[in-house]
Amino acid sequence: MTEQPKSVDSIAVPLLKQDTRAGVSGYTLDLLSKLTGLSRTGVIHLALRQMADRYLHKYDMDDGPLSDAQHTAILLASRATSIPADHFTKRLF
């Protein structure tokens, strides 16, 4: 049986009397709960997970554009360097 992760922290989520662009009512939360089969807490976690997937980077930010030295190093390391340029339809650099 898979062990459930332990709750680290919790917050109170005050529900609105009516839905707005930035929040939902208890009625809407209950409808979502019934529709998905999730608990109210499960619905909130799912919404937060979807927001995290949408807005948070899934990778470390890089240092910006490659330098000329980095371009040269990539070209020297590439096995495709000997292939004529007209054999490619698009270039990365």
pLDDT digits (tens, 9 = 90+) for 15-39: 999 999 999 999 999 999 999 999 9
**Residue 48 per-residue DSSP state:** H
pLDDT recorded at residue 36: 98
**Residue 1 per-residue DSSP state:** -
- Higher pLDDT pick, 73 / 80: 73
pTM check: above 0.85: no
Amino acid at 92: L
- Higher pLDDT pick, 84 / 45: 45
Closest by CA position to 65, among listed 38, 93, 86, 41: 93
**Which tokens is 24 given?**
């939902």
Count of CB atoms situated within 10 Å of the CB of 2? 4
